[in-house]
């Protein structure tokens, strides 16, 4: 049986009170697509509800700390103003619990199930009406799921692409390196923000339902097989 894990790194543009001073005068940047990925949390919540699995998501703006990156790349031009000790606290309070929960969930799901599909959800401000499914190098199971998912989506005339052998970000790469590719299927789902912000070329709810229905159908096929 296949389990599903849903995660969303850039779910919010929230800034805890203790860090608001470094963004004073730049609040519009924080709430822009530079600070978060509009629609990503809404979509991730839909997947979580459909597959009856807890959702793991970032709880602060990526301009404070980017959960998908490592080292100095985690810090924006704003958070670099913070003392190193303060940034270390951000890691301890926000990044480390997020990553620990994710690893614990993966380990537990793989213990209880034959395989796990991890959908990492993003929305993209740079594309228009496009849905992307990206899989890491050597990701045997992920490629199989993504290919079947793409086939179902394309059959509905959605502009969808499956790109193989994409080197993931730091978080994705660290997970892909630990868990066996024949059991752990990591798929990065990236949806154009035009769907969520402008309702084009499809209404958001219509797109969301198709994404959920099609992945559920793929999961059922895999279970039967």
What is the distance in angstroms between the CA of the first residue and the CA of the last residue of the chain? 10
Q: How far apart are CA 53 and CA 207, in angstroms?
A: 21
105-151 pLDDT, tens digit per residue, is 999 999 999 999 999 999 999 999 999 999 999 999 999 999 999 99
Q: Are 114 and 74 in contact (CB under 8 A)?
A: no
Q: How far apart are CA 84 and CA 201, in angstroms?
A: 45
Q: Angle 40-50/204-224 helices, nearest 10 degrees?
A: 40
Q: Are 153 and 214 in contact (CB under 8 A)?
A: yes
Q: H or E stretch including 122?
A: strand 115-124
Q: What is the mean pLDDT of the segment spanning 76-86?
A: 97
What is the pLDDT, as a whole number, of residue 225?
Answer: 54
Q: In the structure, what pLDDT confidence band is assigned to residue 222 with cuts at 50, 70 and 90?
A: confident
DSSP state of 191: E
Q: Is it the case that residue 224 has pLDDT exceeding 60?
A: no
151-186 pLDDT, tens digit per residue, is 999 999 999 999 999 999 999 999 999 999 999 999
> What CATH number matches the domain at 2-224, 3.60.21.10, 1.20.58.1000, 3.40.630.40, 3.20.20.140?
3.40.630.40
User: What does the block give as tokens for 225?
Assistant: 């097989």
Q: How far apart are CA 83 and CA 62, in angstroms?
A: 17
């Amino acid at each position: 049986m296949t389990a599903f894990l849903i995660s969303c790194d850039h779910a919010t543009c929230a800034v805890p009170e203790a860090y608001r001073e470094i963004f004073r005068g730049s609040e519009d940047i924080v709430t822009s697509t530079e600070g978060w990925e509009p629609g990503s949390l809404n979509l991730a919540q839909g997947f979580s509800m459909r597959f009856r699995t807890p959702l793991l998501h970032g709880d602060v703006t990526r301009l404070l700390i980017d959960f998908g990156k490592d080292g100095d790349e985690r810090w924006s031009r704003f958070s670099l103003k913070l003392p190193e000790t303060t940034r270390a606290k951000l890691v301890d309070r926000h990044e480390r619990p997020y990553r620990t929960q994710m690893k614990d969930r993966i380990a537990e799901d793989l213990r209880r199930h034959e395989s796990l599909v991890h959908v990492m959800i993003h929305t993209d401000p740079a594309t228009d009406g496009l849905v992307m499914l990206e899989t890491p190098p050597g990701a045997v199971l992920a490629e199989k799921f993504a290919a079947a998912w793409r086939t179902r989506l394309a059959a509905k005339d959605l502009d969808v692409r499956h790109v193989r052998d994409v080197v993931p970000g730091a978080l994705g790469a660290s997970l892909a390196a630990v868990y066996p590719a024949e059991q752990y299927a990591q798929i990065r789902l990236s949806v154009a923000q035009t769907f969520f912000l402008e309702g084009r070329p499809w209404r958001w709810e219509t797109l969301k339902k198709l994404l959920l229905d099609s992945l559920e159908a793929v999961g059922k096929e895999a279970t039967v097989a």
